[in-house]
């Protein structure tokens, strides 16, 4: 079973404006936040982005901007089943998915995590992975453990416009993408 799929179409994000911070996951390191955060976003290309899914399903997706400035350990997302990431800046990072080695992995949570968890890498084995490039779009099953691993530098600032849903699972969103001729 796939954990992600690359959309066949490229999406160029021309202009956007970051609005209110919605949620963050991570920690302060020397008074600087390290982690991942999501903000509201106004985007010139909003219609094109939302056009990737059929109109009747659009109310069930939230459009945000995701920003990442460090390595992100294996985790599952909180309150999100699947996401479509429209990458703006990727900083040569590997998105790695994992399978559980046992039925009872050790879990922890950082501040703001609800139904998502962090996992010890010792409890996991690697599965499929990808390296996104700017203007790529990927559907991800974020209910499965995944991480973000910088391949070159540790001082990254990765960003993507995301369409997130807490209602539809990966396979359901995949069918929507087929309907709009994106897979």
Per-residue pLDDT of 62-95, as tens digits, reads 999 999 999 999 999 999 999 999 999 999 999 9
Task: Please identify every stretch of the chain with a pLDDT value under 70, giving residue numbers as ranges.
Answer: none
Q: In whole angstroms, what is the distance from residue 95 CA to residue 152 CA? A: 14
Write out the two tokens for 180.
Answer: 């709009």
Per-residue pLDDT of 28-47, as tens digits, reads 888 899 999 999 999 999 99
- Strand intervals (E) in 30-123: 32-43, 62-68, 72-75, 82-89, 93-100, 107-108, 118-119
Q: In whole angstroms, what is the distance from residue 80 CA to residue 19 CA? A: 20
151 half-sphere exposure, CB direction, 13 A CA radius:
11
Please name each of the domains of the chain with its CATH number. 4-179 (2.60.120.10)
What per-residue confidence (pLDDT) applies to 30?
85
Q: In whole angstroms, what is the distance from residue 113 CA to residue 102 CA? A: 22
């Amino acid at each position: 079973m796939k954990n992600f799929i690359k959309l066949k179409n490229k999406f160029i994000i021309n202009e956007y404006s970051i609005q209110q911070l919605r949620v963050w996951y991570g920690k302060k390191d020397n008074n600087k936040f390290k982690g991942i955060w999501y903000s509201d976003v106004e985007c010139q290309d909003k219609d094109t982005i939302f056009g990737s899914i059929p109109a009747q399903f659009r109310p069930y997706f939230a459009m945000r901007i995701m920003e990442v400035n460090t390595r992100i350990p294996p985790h599952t997302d909180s309150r999100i089943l699947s996401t479509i990431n429209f990458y703006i800046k990727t900083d040569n990072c590997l998105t790695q998915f994992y399978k559980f080695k046992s039925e009872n992995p050790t879990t922890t949570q950082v501040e703001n995590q609800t139904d998502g968890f962090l996992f010890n890498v010792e409890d996991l084995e690697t599965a499929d992975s990808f390296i996104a490039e700017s203007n790529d779009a990927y559907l991800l099953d974020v209910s499965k453990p995944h991480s973000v691993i910088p391949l070159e530098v540790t001082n990254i600032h990765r960003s993507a416009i995301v369409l997130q849903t807490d209602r539809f699972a990966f396979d359901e969103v995949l069918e929507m993408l087929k309907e709009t001729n994106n897979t």
